[in-house]
Structure 1
Amino acid sequence: MSQSARVVIIGAGAAGLVTAKTLLDDGFHNLSVLTRDTTVGGVWAAHRIYPGLKLNNVHGEFHFSSHPMPPLPKTSAQRLEGEDLCRYLESFAEQFLKGKIRFGVEVLKIERGANGSGWTLRLEDLQSGNRESLECDKLVLCTGGCSRPHIPPNLSPKAAEARGFKGPVIHSSTLGTTAQRVLSSTKPASESKSGTVVVAGGGKSAQDAAAYFTNQGRKVTMVFSKADSFLATSTPLPDFIRKSRLLAVMGPHINLRTKLERFLHNTRPGSFIVRRFWDLLASASLQAAIPQPSPLHDTHSLYWGVRSNDEGVITPDSFYGLAREGKIKLVAPARVVDYGADGHSLVLSDGSTIEADAVVYGTGFTSSWKDIFDESFMHEIGLARHEGKDNTTWDYLSLRNPPPIATEDEWSPAIYRGIVPAKSILKRDLAINGGIITTNNGHVFETTSHWISSFFLADPFMRLPSTTEQAIAHAERNAAWLKQRYPGTFACVNESYSSNVAFWSWPQLVDELLEDMDLPAMRSGGSWLTWPFKVNNISQIATVGEERRQKRAAAA
């Protein structure tokens, strides 16, 4: 069946590509994907990757059911590199989306269409400079939360120039095109009067940058307040642990649907097992990665937070392998606050100075929505965060004694399922894919794409709130849960990358999305004893599109 609706998808990263394919499969042929880049891939586009950059996922967790991921060599650490995913996404687009992607197009502004229906997009062709307006009936935001680099204003390249700093100042997300500038401005550590690259930040992008420049023979100093937590092992974890529901079950979800989950999170013996499990996992990871004493042992919580990485087996050229050998100088807890007067140093939060011939900031990103929507319009359509009114609390024993947080007045999103702004749910013309914080992007992106397609099609079997008020109440209750489950998270991530959080609990979210479409959930199977250990595989959702089409035909 061909759908006449004009659909625009903004963003040609993984979420945008799989959303486009699913909508095309469901008959939305009047569809365009817009990207300001010259190639597909989003954060994994060719101009953003660099040698040695590795994904934060186990192999097999970042691909789609219609396009198998090539196997890795058995000698590898079972981690995809940026180049692998870049090639994969380019191949996916070549096979399924020919002629549907417009490259080099910047979206300047998005407004409601005439008479308050549909959308008007103001565009600029980045090569010619020509501007145009584009009308569409339905819009999908797949811009993610990692496309607008953030450097504190007092540390920006302009601020560095004004203070007389001599070297390059860049953001870690631009290393694909700026790394050579840094290398050219710093002599190798093996030479006399070698230069120093300072990397500011404790997250994965900062760690990746520190490892890259160290492996390029440069002297690297990393300055950070607190490091990310991580999973690491001396040998690869078996699939029945790492690719099963085990970690999801050991982390509480808003709804405890099984007897095992209720035992683990609502009884004293169960909650003891849960907290002990995560403590041992964090401790074993630290021991596998780096010995004490090290500032890398002062990490964000593996259990309470989302600032966690999956390192797998530590290799000699990885960040932790290099730090373990003392090849990266670690300065923590500390922050860069200014540039030194001599043009070759940085001032730290304790008043001390360190040498710097180049600075790389791994200081996060701002929302990708703020440039394309007016703030008042974001509030009108429900994209903006607000002060939630739901004060529900959950008395799970496994959630007792949370860590202290710096702020209690976090504003939160009101986005239903993390996909549709609750205020706009009845219009069925706006959706988001790629805004959910999760550890399994492939599974979540693909399932979300089917949910969006059924939502746009108004499939009669789809279970949705019948009123805007019900959708808002559901979204606000979920936001209240997230603030209790992940204290402080909304204060440290931007709007376009926090529409929902399904970190370790992504299998439960996928189950809910499938049930919204009246489809079978818990597809990994297993008995009452084995189900937590059954491997979740992307092939388990390969037939979702056909299942939806059969239900649609039966209802017609």
Structure 2
Amino acid sequence: MAQLDYAPGTDPREGAIAVIGAGLAGLITAYTLIRDGFKDVQVLTRDGSVGGNWTNDRIYPGLYLNSVHGEYCVSPLDMPKPTSARGRTSGEDVNKYLEDFASTFLSGHIQFGIEVRSVRRRSPGTGWHVQIYDRNAGRTEHREYRRVVLCTGGQSSPKFPPNLSLDAASTAGFKGLVFHSFDFGHRLSDLVVSVPPIDLSSRDAGNTPSVVVVGGGKSAQDVASYLANEGRKVTLVCLNFDAFLAYSKPLPDWVRKSRLLSLFSPHIHLRTWLERFIHTTWLGKKLFDLFWSGLVNDAFTSTHIPPDSILRNTVSPYWHDRVNDEGVPQPNGFHALALAGKIEVVSPAYVTQFSQDGQSVVLDDGSSIRADAVVLATGYHSSWLPMFDEETAEELGLNPRPADSSASYTWDYRTLRDAPPLNPDAKRFSSAIYKGIVPAKNILHRDLAANGAVFSTHFGYMLEVSSHWISSYFLGDAMRLPASPEAALEETERQAAWLRHRYPQVAPTANSSHTSNIGFWGWPQVADDMLEDMGLGVMRSGGSWLTWPFRLVRVGELAGLKEERDARRARVGWKPASSA
């Protein structure tokens, strides 16, 4: 068991904790810590309101969650049914839910306008020196915290390709707007003024003001769809598109809100007979192939995408984590708009530079496209990078580490055969974040953790389980943990090897604060591993050996985790000194 960062006889709940970030990860983490008796929990956010990526000034009309209703909430507060006619959870719904959660449970614990600029260790086992900039007061402050939890996610530091940066636009003399999709809500009013709607009476279509959206993921598709629905001329340029799920009619909950998808997504270990049958037998592989090919074909059929359409230039929904849940396709959705010619799509292609004419961009084939504005949906850097200097990041083990080429791990799953080529970064580097929660090199100190770096399709469930794991870790509970940093690094290397097998086209180290660990379709298995670490029951939705994949998963099944942890702690004899 890992050593504690406090002396015997002292209360681990004393001392200030900085929870950095006020999205769902930060809110549920603070809530869990406070309920567990930690006495000074401070949520720090650079924004003026809670929500993270779903703050008031970042959401916009037409923005919806990329998951089914109920997968972006936690057990302390139910999320009301969606207000939109589409039955999808909108940005406005998410924002209101997070604000309601904060006002209900965290009044007085959240500090707004606080930008964390550096986090450095004072000395091993003595806490953290945190430099912040108070945007409200306009001053820099230095604070001391006993523990820090990183809850900033991986979508708060926009990534600008060097050839399409603001500096590159200025150097080329580009006259239009250039900004990242992260700022779409902020810049929307500027954009609609700069790029007027299409003039249907004009005979000179070539000079119609237009927007070029760079990227093929959900953000790119959402931005392009919104602008097209508002009457703007839009061109989307990308190498390929996200995979997506779509159906001609709504699927029953026992399909979409159960563990069925996780059954057909192998885990690092196969817990049940049914999983072993699907992933290791000849007949199971046949059923597996029918399942995934059926999902892909249904998506294309439901959206009426012809066999020769470039809209079929998508990544695999099985081998990748770039997958959108479209549900029942809408007539004003991305694929319908693209098929109708209301969004011009250029793929496979990429934008190489801004043209010297100041009003267009150049593609890799040498052609150019008029652009009065360019929206870059080009991904994100890790949000941890600005907070840690190189020395601290190396000391903690936050940076990717060279993959151990001498280690040999084997998973003889039939469903992992015929994998696509391995991403070069995944081959060269491994994450050093144990289970996506704790830097392996720092595991003995129990004073630093992250919530939100485990990528999954059910964010609420994963974030809530992770918050309990972190609180137990800080409390010094008896947990299934590596006994040393070396043992933790060995386990993270094995996890990295697994991810290379399971998601060969994804490099978790490319954005460590977002994908230090990838659960995705297999998030229930990842959550169960964390519950096992705490000595708690798994597969909490119930069911028999045959019916468990079809039982509905609800965050309500996590509502008693604190009481279960308290009861287990009482059985093994641990008590904080202050309550002895």
CA distance in 2, matches of 1:397, 1:438: 23
1:55 equivalent in alignment to 2:72: no
Match of 1:476 in 2: 493
Q: Which structure 1 segments of 5+ residues have no match?
A: none
Residue pair 2:422, 2:500 contacting (<8 A) in 1 also: no
285-294 or 58-67, larger mean C-alpha shift: 285-294
Give 1:555 shift: 3.2
Match of 1:443 in 2: 461
The partner residue of 1:132 within 112, 117, 141 is: 141
Which residue type is aligned with residue 49 of structure 2?
A: T
The residue correspondences of 1:394-409 to structure 2 (distance < 5 A) are 394-407=411-424, 409=427
Match of 2:208 in 1: 194
The partner residue of 1:463 within 465, 468, 480 is: 480
Residue pair 1:2, 1:27 contacting (<8 A) in 2 also: no
1:321 equivalent in alignment to 2:331: no
Q: Per the alignment, do residues 418 and 114 of structure 1 end up closer, same or farther by CA in structure 2, a change over 3 Å counting? A: closer
CA distance in 1, matches of 2:567, 2:62: 45
Give 1:11 shift: 0.6
Match of 2:236 in 1: 222
Which residue type is aligned with residue 542 of structure 1?
A: A
CA distance in 1, matches of 2:66, 2:510: 17
Residue pair 1:205, 1:362 contacting (<8 A) in 2 also: yes
The partner residue of 1:242 within 236, 256, 263 is: 256
CA distance in 2, matches of 1:156, 1:2: 46
TM-score, length-scaled by structure 2: 0.93
Match of 2:432 in 1: 414
1:280 equivalent in alignment to 2:289: no
Residue pair 1:251, 1:274 contacting (<8 A) in 2 also: no
Match of 1:523 in 2: 540
Residue pair 1:410, 1:490 contacting (<8 A) in 2 also: no
Residue pair 1:410, 1:491 contacting (<8 A) in 2 also: no
Match of 1:118 in 2: 127
The residue correspondences of 1:75-224 to structure 2 (distance < 5 A) are 76-114=85-123, 117-191=126-200, 192=202, 193-224=207-238
1:305 equivalent in alignment to 2:320: yes
1:30 equivalent in alignment to 2:47: no
Q: Deviations over 1:350-370 (max 9, x none)?
A: 110111111101000111111
CA distance in 1, matches of 2:373, 2:252: 41
539-548 or 287-296, larger mean C-alpha shift: 287-296
Which residue type is aligned with residue 252 of structure 2?
A: P
Residue pair 2:82, 2:90 contacting (<8 A) in 1 also: no
Match of 2:518 in 1: 501
CA distance in 2, matches of 1:3, 1:494: 31
Which residue type is aligned with residue 269 of structure 1?
A: L
Q: Which structure 2 segments of 5+ residues have no match?
A: 1-10, 574-580
Q: Per the alignment, do residues 126 and 470 of structure 1 end up closer, same or farther by CA in structure 2, a change over 3 Å counting? A: same
Match of 1:18 in 2: 28
SS in 2 for 1:197: strand
Work out the percentage of aligned pairs sharing the same amino acid. Answer: 49
SS in 1 for 2:73: coil
Match of 1:368 in 2: 383
Residue pair 1:289, 1:324 contacting (<8 A) in 2 also: no
Match of 2:506 in 1: 489
SS in 2 for 1:279: helix
CA distance in 2, matches of 1:378, 1:534: 42
The partner residue of 1:263 within 270, 277, 284 is: 277
Residue pair 1:57, 1:439 contacting (<8 A) in 2 also: yes
47-56 or 483-492, larger mean C-alpha shift: 483-492
Q: Per the alignment, do residues 217 and 114 of structure 1 end up closer, same or farther by CA in structure 2, a change over 3 Å counting? A: same
Q: Deviations over 1:211-235 (max 9, x none)?
A: 1111111011100110000111111
Residue pair 1:393, 1:484 contacting (<8 A) in 2 also: no
CA distance in 2, matches of 1:491, 1:445: 18
Residue pair 1:338, 1:347 contacting (<8 A) in 2 also: yes
Q: Deviations over 1:461-503 (max 9, x none)?
A: x222222222221111111100111003117841211110000
CA distance in 2, matches of 1:361, 1:296: 20
CA distance in 1, matches of 2:312, 2:141: 52
Which residue type is aligned with residue 404 of structure 1?
A: P
Give 1:148 shift: 0.4
Give 1:113 shift: 1.4
CA distance in 2, matches of 1:398, 1:359: 41
CA distance in 1, matches of 2:403, 2:421: 20
Match of 1:511 in 2: 528
447-456 or 396-405, larger mean C-alpha shift: 396-405
Q: Per the alignment, do residues 437 and 410 of structure 1 end up closer, same or farther by CA in structure 2, a change over 3 Å counting? A: farther
472-481 or 154-163, larger mean C-alpha shift: 154-163
Give 1:456 shift: 0.3
CA distance in 2, matches of 1:217, 1:491: 38
Give 1:272 shift: 2.3
CA distance in 2, matches of 1:116, 1:427: 6
The partner residue of 1:355 within 367, 370, 387 is: 370
Which residue type is aligned with residue 544 of structure 2?
A: S
Match of 2:576 in 1: none
Which residue type is aligned with residue 65 of structure 2?
A: L
Match of 2:577 in 1: none
TM-score, length-scaled by structure 1: 0.97
Give 1:276 shift: 2.7
Give 1:158 shift: 2.2
SS in 2 for 1:334: coil
Residue pair 2:245, 2:325 contacting (<8 A) in 1 also: yes
Q: Deviations over 1:175-212 (max 9, x none)?
A: 11101111111121135353111101000110111011
CA distance in 2, matches of 1:157, 1:362: 14
Superposition CA RMSD, Å: 1.6
Give 1:325 shift: 2.1
The partner residue of 1:332 within 335, 339, 347 is: 347
Give 1:376 shift: 2.9
Which residue type is aligned with residue 219 of structure 1?
A: K
SS in 2 for 1:494: helix
CA distance in 1, matches of 2:421, 2:505: 9
Residue pair 2:319, 2:504 contacting (<8 A) in 1 also: yes
Give 1:554 shift: 3.3
How many correspondences in the alignment? Answer: 554
Residue pair 1:526, 1:534 contacting (<8 A) in 2 also: yes
SS in 1 for 2:57: helix
Which residue type is aligned with residue 40 of structure 1?
A: V
Residue pair 1:438, 1:504 contacting (<8 A) in 2 also: yes
